[in-house]
Amino acid sequence: MIFCVCPSLGMRTDDPWHDALASGWGDDDARPAAPPRSDRVEKRGEPVDAHAAVYLTVQRSAAFQQVRRRHRRFVLPVSAAFLVWYLAYVVTATVAPGLMSRPVAGVLNVAMVAGLAQFASTFLLTWAYVRHARLRRDQLALELRWETQDMARLQAAAQIPAQTAGSAQAPAQSAPVRGGAARRADPRAAPRSESRAARRTDSRANAPAPRTAWETMP
Amino acid sequence: MSGNHQTLTLVLFSAVILVTLAITSWASRRRHGSPEEFYAGGRLFSPMENGFAIAGDYMSAASFLGISGVIALYGYDGMLYSVGFLVAWLVVLFLVAELVRNCGRFTLADVVAARMRERPVRIASGISSVTVSVMYLVAQMVGAGSLVALLLGGASGSARSWTVIGVGALMIVYVSCGGMRATTWIQIVKAVLLLGGALTLTVLVLVRFGGDLGSLLSTAAERSGHGRDFLAPGLRYGGEWTHRLDFISLGLALVLGTAGLPHILSRFYTVPTARAARRSVVWSIGLIGVFYLMTIVLGFGAAALLGGGAVRESDPAGNTAVPLLSLELGGGAGSTGGPVLFAVVAAVAFATILAVVAGITLASSASVAHDLYASLSRRGTRGEVGVARVAAVGVGIAAIGLGLLAQQLNVAFLVGLAFAVAAAANLPVLLYALFWRRFTTRGAVWAVYGGLVPAIVLVLLSPVVSGGPGALFPQVDFAVFPLENPGLIAIPLGFLAGWLGTVTSREPADEAKHAETEVRSLTGAGAV
């Protein structure tokens, strides 16, 4: 059974983005274990100010606005364009079959050329989108991801009640060091990505995987 | 069709069943019983694996046999389906895949409910997801029944019924025992088999014509009995204006419905990151695009090599065009190669049906357990996976029952209907939640019901249900809506209802939760 190859981590360590992006599993071992996400659980349904403030701050930051602008400026006009192109094709085919049956070259008529052009434009736009996302969005979005998660971690640590403050201090201070500058400098750095992959495996092996604060949201 | 080739077909069918059951038992041995494992297969599939699985989920027997058959009978009009099914993936890639991966966990409702009051939104999305899934499931089951009956030669009623029951029982076993991991590997195996089968036949067709596509097309036009008209639109969807509007409605539903299909959305959760989700969609666009190009060659090849008359004689809907083509390509009914190729193609089609129904059953059981049960029950999310396994059995039994009742309905119509409901009820709420700052809870609930209810009411009032000789209830006539597909009306209504609900809403949108959804969807911060 050739397909029974276990989808193990080994197949994917050659993808530096894979483990770099998939944080949130291993990262949370930096959070204090004692009172896990109690604030979110108890106040379920109510806005938690500190938590909300993190996301509002990120949303208003210039870097995030840039990511959002780049995403929307590509996605919205191009979606409108291909939907119009597709609907024009369908409507012409049903309303004006005479126009579509005009010969172009040999057995090829307008309809055949238009149909094949739909295939071609789909492949072309897929390529363009992936290229745009890779070159214009991925790096910025990744940096924002680490920043946001660091901020959320700091907030969570700051909200620990006084009696556990001693144990909470250490991770709260270590978090930005671990996650901050070094990580942002080069998200593709090989050594770190290996260690992250290892940590990730560990956290998955322990049955209830540590969760991010968001875990309790939906 | 000789007894020998029926034996071979049955042996290959049994092999498909054995392999899929082996995958299921392998996958269920390593289960941990966590929701992550059951709904998302552990989230560690690679983009390529997931791309094949998405292609496997999407390329149903309706595509392989149905579209080629429609092309073999009506020529160009069948190509319109292929184009719609493919272009739909751009909507998924651009607007849905990465954002949904970043802010959801298991279902569509996760994405929407995150910034709304959870209960009403989750119940609404859960209901619409289950409705869409069950419709699609019934379509596939009915297709399975008639397909197997045709392929095995015995078109009797009891053979169909037992096929529906057998397929239903198998899919219940796959899903409730193997969860997403088994389902995904079954999809991957099926996608490889299907693409391999289609590629083999395409190459054989091209070899017959010496690689000359021009002569393939002109021979097809000649032998179809329609001449040049065969290569232009209008043979099937020409004529009356209601037919033409119906096709535009179907085209709209096809292109917008894919992004609202629950079993497609749940596939993005099986990869670790949004970037992996993007790459899996790219894989699937490549695979699906190539596959639909091959179905076009196969359809015209069937028309050219068999002639329109022979195809229509075997099955008036054209569903047997590809199996007949394989018999011809292998050397004809009397040869050794012909029946072997025929049996292989039949087994591939059977594997296709099994895989697709498993994917849909899993998605609907996730909606029942994760959205409906978790919202309605006081126990919350505890024991959710157990509920999901039971829900898979329940959904399966319901689909078997409906599949037996709906045996006389046209399969293509049922698929088009499922897409129309997905586009009307699921897509507006999803796009609004991801892109509209002011979207509120009331808007979300209205968007779902505002698409779902009109879609279903319009179908009940359409000529499919009453008033015609081919209708479900031919003796009565309350068909006031002239179109068979409700997409043209219901999809705009879904968007309109979402907008109306939002602007009439007394509570404003929650700014902080919108910020969270937006930041998470675009950056992946805190994604599970």
Q: What is the pLDDT of residue B149?
A: 74
- For residue A173, count CB atoms less than 10 angstroms from its CB and return exposed for 0-12, middle for 13-18, buried for 19 or more: exposed
Q: How far is B150 from chain A (nearest CA, A)?
A: 30
Task: Please report the residues numbered 5 through 64 in chain B whose beta carbons come closer than 8 angstroms to any beta carbon of chain A.
Answer: 19, 22-23, 26, 32, 34, 36, 42, 44-46, 49
CB contact under 8 A, B232 and A58: no
Among A10-24, A133-147, B280-294, B444-458, name the one with the lowest average pLDDT: A10-24
* C-beta neighbour count of A46 within 10 angstroms: 8
Residue whose structure tokens are 């034996």: B7
- Domain enclosing residue A139, as ranges: 50-186
- For residue A199, count CB atoms less than 10 angstroms from its CB and return exposed for 0-12, middle for 13-18, buried for 19 or more: middle
Q: Burial letters for B145-182: b for 16+ Cβ neighbours within 10 Å, e otherwise?
A: bbbbbbbbeeeeeebbbebbbbbbebbbbbbbbbbbbb
Closest residue in B to A17 (Cα–Cα): B275
Segment A22-28 mean pLDDT: 36
Alpha helix segments (H runs only) across B316-409: 321-329, 337-366, 374-376, 384-405
- Those residues with Cβ within 8 angstroms of residue A76's Cβ, 6 or more apart along the chain or in another chain: none
User: Is A69 inside a domain boundary?
Assistant: yes
User: Is A207 inside a domain boundary?
Assistant: no
Q: Does B510 touch chain A (CB under 8 A)?
A: yes
CB contact under 8 A, A130 and B278: yes
Q: How many CA atoms lie within 13 A of B363 on its CB side?
A: 35
**From the candidates A107, A184, A211, which should be mutated to test the interface with B, based on the most B CB atoms within 10 A?**
A107
The tokens describing B347, both together, are 């087994």
Q: Does the pLDDT at position A189 exceed 70?
A: no
Q: What is the pLDDT of residue A83?
A: 96
The tokens describing B306, both together, are 């068999």
Q: Does A141 touch chain B (CB under 8 A)?
A: yes
Closest residue in A to B77 (Cα–Cα): A93
Among A126-140, A195-209, B110-124, B261-275, name the one with the lowest average pLDDT: A195-209
User: Is A28 inside a domain boundary?
Assistant: no
Q: Do residues A179 and A27 make contact, with C-beta atoms less than 8 angstroms apart?
A: yes
Q: What is the pLDDT of residue B89?
A: 96
Segment A169-186 mean pLDDT: 39
The tokens describing B159, both together, are 């053979």
Segment B396-423 mean pLDDT: 83
**From the candidates B226, B268, B275, which should be mutated to test the interface with A, based on the most A CB atoms within 10 A?**
B275
Among partner residues B278, B293, B527, which is closest to A24 by beta-carbon distance?
Answer: B527
**DSSP E strands: which ranges in chain A?**
103-105, 108-109
**Secondary structure of B50-107 as H, E, C letters:** HHHHHHHHHCCHHHHHHHHHHHHHHCHHHHHHHHHHHHHHHHHHHHHHHHHHHHCCCC
pTM, whole model, 2 decimals?
A: 0.84
Q: What is the pLDDT of residue A199?
A: 37
Among partner residues B98, B185, B515, which is closest to A56 by beta-carbon distance?
Answer: B515
| Spatial separation of the C-alpha atoms in residues B148 and B155, rounded to whole Å | 8
Among A37-46, A127-136, B340-349, B504-513, name the one with the lowest average pLDDT: A37-46
Q: What is the separation, in whole angstroms, between the first and last Cα of chain A?
A: 39
The tokens describing B172, both together, are 């219940």
Segment B76-105 mean pLDDT: 92
User: Is A34 inside a domain boundary?
Assistant: no
| Spatial separation of the C-alpha atoms in residues B133 and A105, rounded to whole Å | 44
Give the three-state DSSP class for B126: helix
Q: Give phi and psi for B269, each to the nearest 5.
A: -80, -5
Which residue in B343, B371, B508 sits closest to B437, CA to CA? B508
| Fold of the CATH domain B3-372+385-419 | Sodium/glucose cotransporter (1.20.1730)
Q: What is the pLDDT of residue A168?
A: 38
Q: What is the pLDDT of residue B380?
A: 63
Q: How many CB pairs lie under 8 A apart between chains A and B?
A: 224
Closest residue in B to A25 (Cα–Cα): B528
Q: How far is A212 from chain B (nearest CA, A)?
A: 6
Segment A18-46 mean pLDDT: 38
DSSP string, B243-311: HHHHHHHHHHHHHHHGGG-HHHHGGGGGSSSHHHHHHHHHHHHHHHHHHHHHHHHHHHHHHHHH-HHHH
User: Is A64 inside a domain boundary?
Assistant: yes
CB contact under 8 A, A119 and B293: yes
Segment A120-127 mean pLDDT: 96
**Secondary structure of B210-235 as H, E, C letters:** CCCHHHHHHHHHHHHCCHHHHHCCCC
Chain B residues touching residue A105 (CB < 8 angstroms): none
Give the three-state DSSP class for A10: helix
Among B105-114, B381-390, B393-402, name the one with the lowest average pLDDT: B381-390
Q: How far is CA B290 from the centre of its chain?
A: 18
**Percent of chain B at pLDDT exceeding 70:** 95
User: Is A134 inside a domain boundary?
Assistant: yes
| Spatial separation of the C-alpha atoms in residues B169 and B450, rounded to whole Å | 34
Q: Does the pLDDT at position B502 exceed 60?
A: yes
Q: How far is B218 from chain A (nearest CA, A)?
A: 6
How many residues are listed for chain A in this entry? 218
| Spatial separation of the C-alpha atoms in residues B390 and A4, rounded to whole Å | 26
The CB-based long-range contact list for B381-387 (8 Å cut-off, 24+ gap) reads B381/B35, B384/B35, B385/B33, B385/B34, B385/B35, B385/B38
Average pLDDT, chain B: 88
Chain A residues touching residue B292 (CB < 8 angstroms): 119
CB contact under 8 A, B523 and A75: no
Segment B202-219 mean pLDDT: 91
**From the candidates B83, B248, B255, which should be mutated to test the interface with A, based on the most A CB atoms within 10 A?**
B83
- For residue B453, count CB atoms less than 10 angstroms from its CB and return exposed for 0-12, middle for 13-18, buried for 19 or more: middle
ipTM of the complex: 0.92
Q: How far is A8 from chain B (nearest CA, A)?
A: 8
Give the amino acid at B231: L
Q: Do residues B452 and B424 make contact, with C-beta atoms less than 8 angstroms apart?
A: yes
Segment B59-75 mean pLDDT: 85
Q: Does B89 touch chain A (CB under 8 A)?
A: yes
Query: ∠B47-B52-B57 over CA atoms, to 5°?
Result: 120
pLDDT band of residue B46 (cuts 50, 70, 90) is: very high
Q: What is the pLDDT of residue A38?
A: 36
pLDDT band of residue B384 (cuts 50, 70, 90) is: confident
CB contact under 8 A, B90 and A101: no
The tokens describing B388, both together, are 């999901």
Closest residue in A to B273 (Cα–Cα): A22
Q: Does the pLDDT at position B3 exceed 80?
A: no
* C-beta neighbour count of B507 within 10 angstroms: 9
Chain B residues touching residue A18 (CB < 8 angstroms): 272-273, 275-276
User: Is A182 inside a domain boundary?
Assistant: yes
Q: Does the pLDDT at position A5 exceed 50?
A: no
CB contact under 8 A, A59 and B292: no
Segment B138-154 mean pLDDT: 76
Using the 8-state DSSP alphabet, how is residue B65 labeled?
I
Q: Does the pLDDT at position B47 exceed 90?
A: yes
pLDDT band of residue B154 (cuts 50, 70, 90) is: low
E strand or H helix at B189: helix B157-208
Quote the number of domains for chain A: 1
Which residue in B416, B456, B484, B446 sits closest to B252, CA to CA? B416
Closest residue in B to A20 (Cα–Cα): B273
Give the three-state DSSP class for B431: helix
Q: What is the pLDDT of residue A176?
A: 38
Q: Does the pLDDT at position B18 exceed 90?
A: yes
pLDDT band of residue B199 (cuts 50, 70, 90) is: very high
Q: Do residues B270 and B40 make contact, with C-beta atoms less than 8 angstroms apart?
A: yes
CB contact under 8 A, A47 and B512: yes
The tokens describing A49, both together, are 């100010």
Q: Does the pLDDT at position B518 exceed 70?
A: yes
| Spatial separation of the C-alpha atoms in residues B316 and B228, rounded to whole Å | 22
Q: What is the pLDDT of residue B339?
A: 85
Residue A108's DSSP bridge partners are A105
Using the 8-state DSSP alphabet, how is residue B508 labeled?
P
Q: What is the pLDDT of residue A162?
A: 42
pLDDT band of residue B470 (cuts 50, 70, 90) is: low
Closest residue in B to A121 (Cα–Cα): B87
